[in-house]
Structure 1
Amino acid sequence: MAGRMSFHCHWNTPIFSGLKTTLLLFICSLKGVRSNQVVVDQHVMAVLGKNITLMCTVEVEKNLSLTQTSWERKANGNTSTLAVYNPIYGISIAEEYQGRLNFKTPSKEDATIVLEDVSFADTGLYTCKVATFPLGNTQASTTVTVMVEPKVYVSAGSAPLIDGGNETVVAICTAEKGKPMAEVSWETDLFGHSERKVIDEPNDTITMEMQYRWVPTRFQRDRKLTCVVRHPALETEFRIPYTLHVQYAPEIDITGYDGNWYIGRENVHLTCRADANPPPARYTWTRLGDELPAGVQIVNDTLVFSRALERNDSGVYRCEVANDIGHQAKQREIRIQDVPLKQTSTVAVASAVIGAILALLLIAVFIIVLLTPRKREPSYLDKVIDLPPTHKHPPEYTERAVSIPLTVNQMHTRKSDSHHLFQGNTIPDYWEHRSSSHEQLSYQEWICHTSGSEKVYINHREHYV
């Protein structure tokens, strides 16, 4: 915030008093003799070792004349002049500030100065003074505070990070000798926690240490932490990434054996791949229960068969890897076959395709069989319903003429009378002896059959089994 200070017209003469003095001041203001102002920043933060600009602008009325501007500094109860600007005589700089202090753009309206390479001794109260005629001096002051930009760095903890070890300090973020104290924090997704340590330093500076504590594990190796530092002397926040280096014993995997090693095969090898931190110091190859075959060479982490495979190359091969943390071993059984496997990948793919096609055909046939309607077989009840009439329940009884088997002569006699089968009201004895289960039939229901010399009419609806 800029500060303004005004200088007004005052004439102190013992001749004038009371009303006369008031009247004179009123006349003075009517003549246009008003005030001039000095504008400065009330507070300025300087950074140790860098430059600082102290602003001072002057607002002078047209009827006033700027005679001189100057800067003074007050510290430890003493006041000293740093620099003077006179429109006629030029610029004057105090000897102790030669080469470090200058007016930025000296003029009647601007008395701003630039102080280079600020030190702790530059802390204090600075006053910009303006001398005008005929009003005299006008001034305004600004306070300068020297900040110290911290030195920021990240370091590892005192102990190495060992997989499976106890909680330890994995990294330290330091903001060294800052003024005021810096704000330090860690950004990470690890499940650790931070601890702060504050150290007082000379010249009211403070060192801030932010430790990060964590239980090391190989599964979180190469993870990153980020140290974040904020300070008024920094234009932006300071960010430093740090990678965790967890040490662990080797993790081993043996590659190179595809299960199709056969007698006479060439250019084969076994490779012992090891993941370790620090890197493996040595590799050791052995064969369980026997020595390594002749013609086999060890090249770093690889067991090379420099000749065609033989039957006695079968066995269990063991690889052992060691580093500064520990050693681990792994083994692989190798079987040498008489002949190579015949089924190639192409044949296997073709077989799979053919099998899939056959499976689809079977599914299609099954669906067609399920959806095709089948002829219904007669059931037992159907067979019973279709039995001859003698095996069925007799129909409901109705009155009609009696029909009995007739001979040929009788048939000729009865043809003459088509309306009646019997004369009179008497029913022949033959009807009385018929079973009640026989159905009464008309003449047309009888069919002629030859029986010996006579033709006998039989009811075609009655079948005898």
Structure 2
Amino acid sequence: MIHFCFQLFFSGALGVQTIAEEGLLVGRAGDEMSLPCSFAGTFMNLTLVQVTWLKKTDGGNVNLAVYNPQYGMSYPSRSSRVTMANSPTLSYTLTITPLQLSDQGLYNCEVNTFPDGKLEFLTDLTVLVKPLSKVAAVPAEAAPLEVPVANCTAANGKPAADPPEVIITGYNGNWYMKNTNHSLRCNAKANPPVTSYHWTISTGSIPPTVQNMGDHLIITLVDYSLNGTWTCEATNSIGRGRGEISIVVKEPDFATAGEPFGSTVIYLVVGILVAVLIAVVLLTLARKKVRQRVADSKEKVNSCQRKGSEFVVLATVSLKVMDCSHPSKRENCDPETTEHSETAMG
């Protein structure tokens, strides 16, 4: 409950005036509810003109009660469930009895004074409704297992009440022998909230490898003792709800070794493929470098050969010897030389 206190300072007054108001109130349908609006302290030179209680609605303000020092008390709403107190202590409390769901809403206490005018203070009222509960017997025969013997019904509550709805999560169908770090969780949706959880297994008592943590179980080691139907029963003040899940523990092998083994195989295959790919790339680069070196070497050799035979000179010299001892042949005794030359560029 939230309480607000407002202090009002009046000019020319010898004291301080205070109006106290309950800002937020919660009540139950069928009970009596009081909405206070009162003066506190002493005051002088202040005249009370009128006090009015209003309820704010979508269609406007509804006038519930009015007090006027001259004309007395009046109830414009004509509701027999509403009264306003006029006490010598200047308390103008609005009382509603019995409280109904329709009374929920925002209330305004207006205090008109002279010469300071009107003061307004709001109260927000919330109404809770207890649900209507009904129990109906269900015919049942004696049996070694639990069977329902009654149906419990809760209706017309505010807020709405639920028998708990339970779902068990945590099992994905791939629990293998010797696995660790598994758990089951009892997820319950209920109003009012769940107050207790109870776990059972169809094969008997809970195995020692299971730690009961209330709304969840911690599986420290997976073995065949976990096989069976697990039940979580959640209880609140309205009733109980249960959820079930069947667990089958598998034996790990090469084909069905579970997620951890499968992940390891995948990582191993991917690693091998990456290593082979890297080796192929490196080998290709190495062979390319070797071929490049051989080609560079041949290019250097060819370049040197061309430079050494760049100018090749071929020359032919013909010499003709004449017999000049005879006079008849002397005219041809002048030396004659025939030359032939060729120049080739490589």
Instruction: Note whether the superposition's TM-score is higher than 0.5.
Output: no
Bigger RCO (CA 8 Å, 6+ sep): 2
TM-score, structure 1 normalization: 0.33
Structure whose alpha-carbon radius of gyration is higher: 1
